[in-house]
């Protein structure tokens, strides 16, 4: 298909307009995303995001695997929120099958999920600033992220694509070494957040590259189904952990960072402030961590979900994850549909990029924070 047909079948090129492919190998897309741009000089007239370069049929795989066999796959969708996607899958099956989870396991799940949220935000923050030309914050962010992976490795056995939650609990208990190391990390990161504030948040170059750029109004965010920091950066205080609480989140005091401007800077600030709130949740969970088992006495190996339709939502680092499960009573899901935040968040780009400059495309796309394997699942 020609570029003209992809964007507008009735459009013909004039002398002052042309097409530009950004991706699918452009480093700032952070995945195989292709943006087909129609330009007039440096100004964008149309944008068509082209997806599917890494499609793997995860939902179809779910229908051909048992619930247990599919357990490692969700962590490969959003590999930066692997612990959260793994947790979400377990929550959906546990809710549908009526599987109880020990309280200690719920606390551990929340601790690890919030660590994963911080890790995801740190990677995004470092990569985003590098895309905009700042190298030093990238080194700090990955240094802090390395500490998180070092903490999670002995417990989960992985550093990226985690599969730690099990139906009815977690694979392994945490020990005093983990708790001591985590408390030390919390103290370190709080100090580092002050460094980020001085180095980035007050940097006039960064502010000028992001303020009033890529503005998403609250109405636009709702119309396109945006969730997560992209929605909260537009002034809508929606977070699944508050709106539809799950696990033991109702037991913790934390705030939902919201900014009202809807520009790239506000989406950045929401993620930056969320890291402190995740530290608050982790601290409270460590202080209240109950004793007891972390898994059922007999491992849950065969799951049969009663026939029916089930739905479960979860707040990942990028927004609302929705799992719609249809069961016919067998060992496999009859249908498992995943609603992932990156797909809806990316859908706003064709409207958002119109009449902006090519130089701002990197800042706008990066501020949305999409993970392509999550979209091309």
Residue-wise pLDDT tens digits, 262-284: 999 999 999 999 999 999 999 99
Q: Residue 351 above 70 pLDDT?
A: yes
pLDDT of 8 over the 90 cut: no
CATH code of the domain in which 173 resides: 1.10.645.10
What was the pLDDT predicted at 295? 95
**Is residue 10 over pLDDT 60?**
no
Give the DSSP letter string of 172-233: S---HHHHHHHHHHHHHHHHHHHHHIIIIIT-HHHHHHHTTSS---HHHHHHTT--THHHHT
Q: Whole domain around residue 358: which residue ranges?
A: 58-375
pLDDT of the residue at 17:
87
Residue 34 lies in a domain: no
What's the mean pLDDT in 215-221? Answer: 96
Count of domains forming the chain: 1
Q: What is the mean pLDDT of the chain?
A: 92
pLDDT at 54: 85
Distance, CA of 300 to CA of 317 (rounded, Å): 28
| Domain annotation covers residue 33 | no
Which band of pLDDT confidence, cut at 50, 70 and 90, is reported for residue 56? confident
Note the pLDDT of residue 15.
61
Asked whether residue 336 is assigned to any structural domain, the reply reads: yes
Confidence of residue 14 (pLDDT cuts 50, 70, 90): low
pLDDT above 70 coverage of the chain, percent: 96
pLDDT band of 24, cuts 50, 70, 90: confident
Helix extents (H) in the chain: 3-7, 58-63, 82-97, 103-131, 136-156, 176-196, 204-210, 218-223, 229-232, 240-243, 264-288, 341-346, 349-352, 358-368, 372-375
Quick one: pLDDT band at residue 305, thresholds 50, 70, 90? very high
Tell me if 122 is assigned to some domain.
yes
Quickly state the pLDDT bin for 39 (edges 50, 70, 90).
very high
In terms of C-beta density within 10 A (0-12 exposed, 13-18 middle, 19 or more buried), how is residue 198 classed? Answer: exposed
Q: What is the distance between the alpha carbons of residues 180 and 359, in angstroms, rounded to a whole number?
A: 45
**Is residue 194 included in any domain, yes or no?**
yes
- pLDDT in the model for residue 3: 52
Which has the higher per-residue pLDDT, 18 or 181?
181
pLDDT of residue 321: 97
For residues 360 and 132, give the distance between their C-alpha atoms in angstroms, rounded to a whole number: 9
Residues 19-46, mean pLDDT to the nearest whole number: 86
Question: Is 6 inside any structural domain?
Answer: no
Residue 131's closest CA among 371, 360, 344? 360
- State residue 13's pLDDT score: 55
What is the per-residue pLDDT for 77?
A: 92
- Range 331-357 average pLDDT: 94
Q: Is residue 221 in a domain?
A: yes
Residue 55: is its pLDDT beyond 70?
yes
What DSSP character marks residue 27? G
Residue 9 has pLDDT above 60, yes or no: no
Strands 320-327 and 308-315: antiparallel
Does the pLDDT at position 7 exceed 80? no
Confidence of residue 23 (pLDDT cuts 50, 70, 90): confident
Closest among 206, 196, 222, 356 to 276, alpha carbons compared: 196
The residue-averaged pLDDT of 295-308 equals 92
């Amino acid at each position: 298909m020609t570029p003209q047909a992809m964007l507008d079948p009735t459009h013909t090129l004039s002398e002052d307009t042309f097409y530009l492919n950004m991706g699918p190998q452009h480093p700032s897309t952070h995945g195989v995303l292709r943006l087909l741009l129609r330009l007039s000089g440096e100004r964008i007239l149309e944008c068509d995001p082209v997806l599917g370069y890494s499609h793997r049929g995860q939902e179809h795989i779910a229908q051909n695997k048992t619930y247990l066999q599919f357990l490692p796959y969700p962590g490969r969708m959003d590999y930066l929120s692997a612990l959260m996607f793994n947790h979400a899958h377990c929550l959906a099956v546990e809710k549908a099958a009526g599987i109880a989870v020990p309280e200690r396991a719920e606390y551990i799940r929340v601790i690890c999920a919030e660590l994963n949220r911080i890790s995801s935000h740190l990677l995004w923050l470092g990569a985003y600033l590098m895309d905009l030309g700042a190298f030093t914050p990238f080194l700090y962010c990955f240094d802090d992220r390395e500490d998180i992976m070092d903490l999670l490795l002995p417990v989960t056995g992985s550093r990226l694509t985690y599969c730690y939650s099990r139906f009815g609990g977690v694979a392994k208990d945490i020990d005093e070494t983990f708790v001591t190391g985590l408390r030390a990390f919390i103290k370190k990161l709080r100090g580092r957040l002050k460094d980020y504030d001085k180095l980035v948040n007050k940097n006039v170059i960064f502010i000028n590259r992001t303020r009033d750029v890529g503005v998403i109004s609250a109405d636009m965010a709702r119309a396109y189904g945006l969730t997560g920091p992209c929605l909260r950066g537009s002034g809508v205080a929606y977070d699944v952990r508050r709106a539809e609480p799950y696990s033991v989140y109702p037991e913790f005091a934390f705030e939902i960072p919201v900014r009202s401007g809807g520009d790239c800077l506000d989406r950045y600030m929401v993620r930056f402030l969320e890291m402190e709130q995740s530290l608050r949740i982790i601290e409270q969970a460590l202080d209240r961590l109950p004793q007891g088992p972390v898994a059922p006495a007999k491992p849950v190996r065969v799951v049969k979900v009663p026939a029916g339709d089930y739905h479960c939502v979860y707040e990942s680092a990028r927004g609302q994850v929705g799992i719609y499960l249809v069961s016919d009573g067998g060992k496999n899901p009859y249908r498992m549909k995943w609603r992932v935040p990156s797909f809806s968040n990316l859908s706003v780009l064709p409207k958002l990029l119109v009449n902006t400059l090519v130089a701002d495309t990197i800042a706008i796309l990066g501020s949305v924070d999409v993970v392509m394997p999550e979209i091309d699942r």
